[in-house]
Chain A
Amino acid sequence: MNMMLVTASTQGSLRRTSLTRLIRNYSVLLCGMLAICDAPALAAAEPASTGGQAVIRRLTPGQYANSVKDIFGEGILLGGRFEPDVRVSGLLAVGTSRVSVTATGFEQYYTTARAVADQVTDKAHRATLISCEPADEKAADDVCAREFLQHTGRLLFRRPLTQGELETQVSVARDAGASLKDFYAGLRVSLTNLLVSPMFLFRQETPAIDPAHPGQANLDAFSMATRLSFLMWDTAPDEALLRAAENGGLNTEKGLARQVNRLLNSPRLEAGVRALFTDMLGFDEFTTLTKDTVIFPKFTNVLSAQAQEQTLRTIIDLLLTERGDYRDIFTTRKTFLTPSLGILYAVPVVLDRPINTPERWVAVKYPEGDPRTGLLTHASFVALHSHPGRSSPTLRGKALREIFLCQKVPQPPGNVSFEDVQDTANPVHRTVRARVNAHLTNPVCAGCHKITDPIGLALENFDSAGGFRTAENGVDIDTSGELTGVKFVGAAGLGQTMHDSAAATSCFVSRAFSYATGLAPALTQANYLKFAEGRFAAKGYRLPDFLKEIAMSKAFYQADAPQTATTSETKADATLSTTEMPARVAAQTNE
């Protein structure tokens, strides 16, 4: 305890840190020095959790594409588009537990399914994708159809087809093949059916009641495999995982660990982590992002895509390749740039390639003290959360609170007029800070803007397109900012504050678990989430270790026993809002 107090008194930045956090930091330090992170003394038992509802989740467009690619190969083109996902509690992943399929949506699935089935059964692909040949191509062949449908159906449904399901589709292939006098046409129709089946389009989780704990259930082995696979690889379970589910390999800790380690040690983990952060960072909003092309001619669609890729590459490098500390995403000096991004950020990117070749990514490490450090300075954040023609401290502050702190910032009232303070040509208010401060003189506005703008003002070195600048309208930009009482200067200061924020790591734990389960944070999960936060800290905030914690936890596979309609609705009402849960958890660990 004495050592902790000395630490606190000698480092200004830690003076405001809670005792809880000091203990955690000290524990991490101790873990690192003594390499005893897994020591039983520090590894408290997972608290009892009542789980949550077993839900059906609609595949995201990415998961649909990944599944088809894994099962049939890269050469099968999808075309078309799917219904947009819905963001709930900060995640599209949670939205997948709320949405259904509209008439137009089904039409799109059907069109895509036909296109996939056409390709799989065409002459160019059938030899490699269909393991058998019919006795006569101009007639039905139950044996070959059964073999193909049994194998493919198992991969698509993420479990073996029931005998009834299989024979139904064999019958469809038989009738269609005979009618059209074409075995492959029959198979095509059956495969289309599998691809539009709710068993494929929705991830259906089946709880198996635990006789020892009435009212509680564990997911069955195939539901476990599905949750695991989509969390780690963002795709359907592969053959090995399905086999483990079939032979009981997921029902023992050792067997489960074997599969979890296999998934974690695969290069395919990158796809899963990319999907997690693409969702969490709200990159779907890039589809409607526009920038004023007169003011920002550099911000093209290509650059928009590169901005997202820069962030994802940075995250993958830091969290997977380097096995770094999650909190360092806010402070890392290393990133990846193309020449176009280099121009945007005013950083020279030298390539040993001739002009007019495709742009190449180069690892860049900013010098100590550079203002471009951390994820918050990337165009994927500062450009995404700006107005088309000018930066916005308000939008940036709001996004930071909602994405990284899991807090909900209220929508502004409709009847506000900013006409006096938002004129970029205003001769008095020549910088954004001056305009915003004038704006804050209105007490009606000030309430909310005080929780957003002081954060966003620290990012004013980045214009609406993410371009780096030090002055606006000839006036040097003041980048001082504040977040929950902590004052700092510039993006680097903000990044360090976020790095040190217990609320930020608490939010990530909550979001990651919601992403994994498809459920909004709920009161029933509070004990587990608090426990998981502790484990995350004890493991040095390393993402692979944290994913393993989730994947090996009981909470991840627990589900409520099947509910009646009435109790099911009551349960749904117990879901907490986006704001409530993290705030509640944070309140237990923060100062």
Chain B
Amino acid sequence: MTSKTSFSGRRTVLRGILGGTTVSVGLPLLDRFLDGNGRAFANGAPLPVCFGTWFQGLGGAPGLWEPKTVGAGYEMGQLFRALSPYTHKINVFTGLKAHGRAPDHTIGQAVAFAGSYEDTIPKTIDTIIGDVIGTQSRFRSLEVACDGSTESFSRRGPNIANASEPSPLALYARIFGTEFTDPNAAEFRPDPEVMVRRSALSAVSEQRAVLLKNLGATDRARLDEYFTSLRETEKQLELQLQKPAPLAACTVPAKPAEESTGVIIDQARATHRTFASLIAHAMACGQTQVFSVNFGGGGSRLRKAESAESFHIHTHEEATDPKLGYQPTVAWFQEQAIGALSEFIAALDGIREGDGTLLDRALLMYSTDHGYARLHTSDNVPMITAGGAGGRIKTGIHVHAPGDTMARVGLTVQQALGIPVHSWGKDGNETSKPISELFG
């Protein structure tokens, strides 16, 4: 007895076109081409919005980063000076806090990106948004870590962490390697091998119903996630069979040099710089619309070269300088991270798309975990957004919201990007109050 009857659908459709040169059977083509000014497709649809999170551990020091005035026209505080060239494209939020348990190491980033501080972090905002805006690009999201680790704060659900890519070379190969299709190439000819592989993979995905049938709820959810992930690869193969819409701003970056990743701050910044370029180019080339950057981890292991202690250890152990009133080495690390963030924003803003830039159609959400790194407090935690999300939010505004939950920023971002959510957050961080100053 054979199972040929259960082996049909997409495979059967594709079987008929193998070896051919057309790609029109059974799979929708992208029928979008750029308009004259490079900011929209020919059919009038604007270039898609992009979203990403950028995390720095131990980022806050009270009095050192906050702008002195609220509203438009603010000036960056001392620690955030590296962002000054982009003030008009950045919103700064002060006074926000993570409500909940006593100061600890993880609550800040959990509330910022998941709205909740449960031990098992639920689905995070990059994944929530990626599931809506990222479904038409080759990679639903790209996650990177700059300290040589695979640590990530991106979660699809409890125990489902989207591990970070630690290697720029590997990320380059993944995006711009042999399977990259240049959207601006004059000719497009689908690879018969890709057609075959796409067709064959459905023989695995079609096992889903049978395999899930006898499992308990927990294992069923786990295998369901497996099949969702398999579907992502199928989708990648499908996209390789379609002629992509031309994207004028798309250029292929140079292959990164052999790398030395690690926790020394110079290594982390160099790694980050390459990641920033690769992610920016990937978005300009329509490869992804969502990213998640982990600059140095929560309990940051980053170190100065030839130094024995990590950034994290310094926050606990460095004496406060009586003249300066703060921990100078800690502040140095904090400035390094913001310098890196500034370079990321520059990478997005450096890609021209018509009369705007990639940053203008992107929305980057920055958060750290502590308002006062020395004591690991979760009050007045620095948060910012960069980019206008294609005109969906205003920029250049400082919003002071003392005591409000950090989840307000997450709610605002989701609503700006069209996620149908009325309220967000848990564990005392529930909010249905977006930051309305950014709308309208």
Binding site for B on A (CB under 8 A): 53, 55-56, 83-84, 86, 98-107, 110, 163-165, 167-169, 171-172, 175-176, 179-180, 185, 189-190, 192-193, 196-199, 201-202, 287-288, 290, 292-295, 387-390, 411, 413-420, 422-423, 562-566, 568-569, 572
Contacts and interface: CB of A to CB of B under 8 A. Distances in A.
A241 to B, nearest CB: 24
Given A106-B230, A290-B263, A55 B193 contact: no
Nearest to A387: B313
B306 A190 contact: no
Contacts of A197: 204, 207
A16 to B, nearest CB: 37
Contacts of A98: 159, 222
Contacts of A389: 307-309
9 contacts: A100-B229, A103-B232, A106-B230, A176-B199, A179-B196, A193-B200, A202-B223, A389-B308, A422-B313
A198 B7 CA distance: 17
Nearest to A568: B216
Interface residues of B, number: 79
B105 A179 contact: no
A414 B376 contact: yes
Interface string B215-253: 111111111011011101100100000000000000000
B106 to A, nearest CB: 9
Given A176-B196, A388-B310, A165 B316 contact: no
Residue picked from A86, A105, A106, most chain B C-beta under 10 Å: A106
Q: Which 7 A-B pairs have the closest CB atoms?
A: A389-B308, A414-B376, A164-B3, A568-B216, A565-B217, A179-B18, A167-B2
B232 A419 contact: no
B150 interface: yes
Contact of A103 (B4, B6, B222, B229): B229
B162 interface: yes
Interface of B: 1-4, 6-7, 11, 15, 18-19, 102-105, 139-141, 143, 148-150, 156, 159-163, 165, 174, 192-193, 195-197, 199-201, 203-204, 207, 211, 214-223, 225-226, 228-230, 232-233, 236, 262-263, 301, 303, 306-310, 313, 316-320, 370, 374-377
A189 B156 contact: no
Contact of B218 (A164, A167, A572): A572
Contacts of B225: 100-102
A519 to B, nearest CB: 12
Contact of A55 (B207, B219, B262, B301): B219
Contacts of A563: 216
Given A168-B3, A179-B19, A414-B104, A293 B229 contact: no
Contacts of A569: 216-218
A411 B103 CA distance: 11
A163 B1 contact: yes
Contact of B222 (A83, A84, A100): A100
Nearest to B11: A175
B98 to A, nearest CB: 11
A562 to B, nearest CB: 6
Contacts of A101: 225-226, 229
Contact of A106 (B165, B174, B229): B229
Given A175-B15, A288-B148, A180 B192 contact: yes
Nearest to B227: A198
A416 B225 CA distance: 40
A104 B11 CA distance: 24
Contact of B163 (A83, A192, A414, A565): A83
A300 to B, nearest CB: 13
Given A172-B203, A179-B192, A290-B262, A198 B105 contact: no
B15 A179 contact: yes
Contacts of A387: 308-310, 313
Given A171-B7, A390-B308, A415-B376, A53 B201 contact: no
Nearest to B262: A290
Given A101-B225, A103-B229, A562-B214, 5 more contacts: A104-B163, A164-B1, A179-B196, A198-B223, A568-B216
A468 B44 CA distance: 71
B74 to A, nearest CB: 29
Contact of B316 (A168, A419, A568): A419
Nearest to A55: B219
A40 to B, nearest CB: 39
Nearest to A207: B214
A294 B308 contact: yes
A417 B317 CA distance: 6
Nearest to B327: A419
Nearest to B320: A419
Contacts of A388: 303, 308-310
A99 B157 CA distance: 10
Contacts of A572: 218
Nearest to A197: B204
Contact of A56 (B7, B149, B223, B308): B223
B230 A417 contact: no
Contacts of A164: 1-3, 6
Given A56-B215, A167-B3, A290-B262, A107 B15 contact: no
A189 B200 contact: yes
B161 to A, nearest CB: 7
A110 B231 CA distance: 12
B197 A192 contact: yes
B3 A86 contact: no
A471 B222 CA distance: 53
Contact of A417 (B2, B307, B374): B374
